[in-house]
Structure 1
Amino acid sequence: MHSMRAAVITGPGQAGLTQVPIPDPGPGDLLIKVEGCGVCPSNLPLWQGRPWFTYPAPPGNPGHEGWGTVAAIGPSAKGFAQGDRVTFLSSQAYAEYDLVPAEAAVKLPSSLDGRAFPGEPVGCAVNVFHRSRIEAGQTVAVIGAGFLGIVFTALAAAKGARVVAMGRRETALDLAKKYGAAETVRMDDHYRIVEYMKEMTNGMGCDRVVEATGFQWPLDLAGELVRERGALVIAGYHQDSPRQVNLQQWNWKGIDVINAHERDRNVYLEGIREGIKAVEAGLFRLDDLITHDFTLMELNRAYLALTERPEGFIKGIIRM
């Protein structure tokens, strides 16, 4: 076999399949037979369309949450053997094969055999947790009970923090509670939530507030909920338009503002390794969080589900 199928975003709201050559691994590369790839909210602008995008997108792009099996190894690539299951960092994993540097892959243990493992979002959640400087006894509000918010909740609760998970959907809040949230709050009314949290914290506010949605209102809410000299952690990926912040409020409170997105590949990979250990330790189960499966030809449906987020939706993946 010399060619493979890859998904292609051909225009706003349009995705299809194309046939492209299977790449040969160069020096230091691994050719991965992709088992699956997570569908990330950061993908949505490309699929929805923005003036600065050109189409068609490169085949397999922007799939960046892949895992699979090493099919071939390039010269000088070390640490892997054919047949190893790995999760990896790339940007073209919506395809049957992907080519990545060996330094961008993490070997999966046998305990995860046969199980989906989108390592990139797991590593992202772990690194947000580290950047947030969570300590036992802190009150931590997590705004957004999606995949990142729930994994973060599990990690913070295991550290001994009192976590308050906030979200729109009851099934997501139930999962957050399963993974350690002391309280859950339905995101329906700004002022009700502010008053509720004031009462819960005796008027002090939260030590840490993690904004994990990427939208304006939750960012506004985060500024209201964080206590004086607390920390507001921006974990949501804000990309649809410029944001406005109440800088007077932030100044007056003297808060730390932490942009928790990681760009150092080595740090990212270490987050993935820690995430693997957390799954093995039972802190959270990806089987609970991966709620929707799609085929490669169903990428449009996957993005539509990600946009609408119906009740029960946490994480969608493409399975090859």
Structure 2
Amino acid sequence: MRAASLVSPGRFELIDVPRPRPGPGQVRVRLQGSGVCASNIPAFEGRDWFTYPMPPGSLGHEGWGIVDALGAGVEGCRIGDRVTALSFHAYADYDLAAADRLVLLPAALHDRPFPGEALGCAMNIFRRADIRRGQTVAVVGVGFLGAALIQLAKEHGATVIAVSRSPSSLELARRCGADQVVAMDDHQRIIDEIHALTDGAFCQRVIEATGKPWPLDLAGEFTGIGGRLVIAGYHQDGLRSVNVQLWNWRGIDVINAHERDSAVATRGLREAVAAVIEGRIDLSLLVTHTYPLDRIGEALQASIERPDGFTKAVVLTGANP
């Protein structure tokens, strides 16, 4: 089978590797595609702590496809089922997953890319944010994750303020239902604008979805007294300096919304499938660019440069009709 290997910073190669065999309790998925996660960007750009070449298919963890082989003892799924799964070498034609870490995709989604792990992350973040009807929620950073969370918060009855850099991301926020959009330019101007929009109370919930230092600092500034600051961005580059005095004075809860329990992550997958089927998440606003597997480097580059209209890329394999 084919698998993409990041052989050096900025350079993927497609290589031929043996098709994996499922062990006890595992299934093999003939992949139709995988979402491209922003967490891949540091490895693609190069950091001192990464080792190259990376294992075939690695970095890909948002896969979906067709079950085509079952390991011993597997129950609850059948060959031919279309699924999304927690697997970790999904930049390839096939990958393995534990049978209890996949979720069936219903017929209503049969022709749609479904980066399940990313959508599951949004569901798990939303649960931990504990957003309640009537609250004012700020979402800082409107990419795939921020846009999904805006949709979920609006459907749940919150008033949403979106803060983002580019005009296209602010327009995406509007299309996802944001009540107000604020350009992420000058630190104090943003704080002043949100102060005015909330009559000085700031926000009961603030979700930081960038993974960058300044937006995290900014998010704390407009989390209101007794509010909740939810760190949803993937912070990969070490230590952060934050205003703990402010956090303490306002008595806010600070929540790291990343899950490491695979059972909880699988719950998020199930909830994501339901949210898309029920119309609480509109995937057409979130998945904007597709690339074949042999152009995965272009997909990563687009994820870095974020051209107008870009929200999320997926790579598609030969398993697609």
TM-score range, shorter chain: over 0.9
Quote the residue 1:246 is aligned against. Answer: 243
Alignment partners' CA distance in 2, 1:223 and 1:120: 27
Q: Are 1:122 and 1:271, in contact at CA under 8 Å, matched by a contact in 2?
A: yes
Query: What secondary structure, in the 3-state scheme, does the structure 2 residue paired with 1:150 have?
Result: helix
Alignment partners' CA distance in 2, 1:5 and 1:202: 57
Quote the residue 1:37 is aligned against. Answer: 34
Determine if the alignment matches structure 1 residue 114 to structure 2 residue 111: yes
Q: Comparing 182-191 with 148-157, which one deviates more in the overlay? A: 182-191
The one-letter amino acid of 1:279's match is: V
Quote the residue 1:314 is aligned against. Answer: 311
Q: Are 1:179 and 1:283, in contact at CA under 8 Å, matched by a contact in 2?
A: no
Alignment partners' CA distance in 1, 2:197 and 2:312: 30
Which residues of structure 2 form unaligned runs of 5+? none
TM-score, normalised to structure 2, is: 0.97
Count the aligned residue pairs: 317
Q: Comparing 278-287 with 77-86, which one deviates more in the overlay? A: 278-287
The one-letter amino acid of 2:241's match is: Q
The one-letter amino acid of 2:187's match is: H
Alignment partners' CA distance in 2, 1:138 and 1:184: 16
Quote the residue 1:282 is aligned against. Answer: 279
Residue deviations 1:21-64 (CA, integer Å, cap 9, x gap): 00111111111000000010111111111112111100000100
Alignment partners' CA distance in 2, 1:133 and 1:288: 24
Alignment partners' CA distance in 2, 1:283 and 1:230: 25
The one-letter amino acid of 1:291's match is: T
Alignment partners' CA distance in 1, 2:138 and 2:117: 23
Residue deviations 1:275-306 (CA, integer Å, cap 9, x gap): 11111111222122111111111121111111
Residue deviations 1:70-121 (CA, integer Å, cap 9, x gap): 1111111111111100001111000000011111111101110111101001
Alignment partners' CA distance in 2, 1:296 and 1:56: 17
Q: 1:18 aligns with which of 15, 31, 42?
A: 15
Q: 2:290 aligns with which of 290, 293, 304?
A: 293
Which residues of structure 1 form unaligned runs of 5+? none
Q: Comparing 60-69 with 237-246, which one deviates more in the overlay? A: 237-246
Query: What secondary structure, in the 3-state scheme, does the structure 2 residue paired with 1:86 have?
Result: strand
Q: Comparing 166-175 with 60-69, which one deviates more in the overlay? A: 166-175
Alignment partners' CA distance in 2, 1:96 and 1:195: 50
Quote the residue 1:59 is aligned against. Answer: 56
**Deviation, structure 1 residue 179:** 2.3
| Percent of residue pairs identical | 52
Determine if the alignment matches structure 1 residue 154 to structure 2 residue 151: yes
Quote the residue 1:186 is aligned against. Answer: 183
Q: Are 1:13 and 1:49, in contact at CA under 8 Å, matched by a contact in 2?
A: yes
Q: Comparing 61-70 with 162-171, which one deviates more in the overlay? A: 162-171
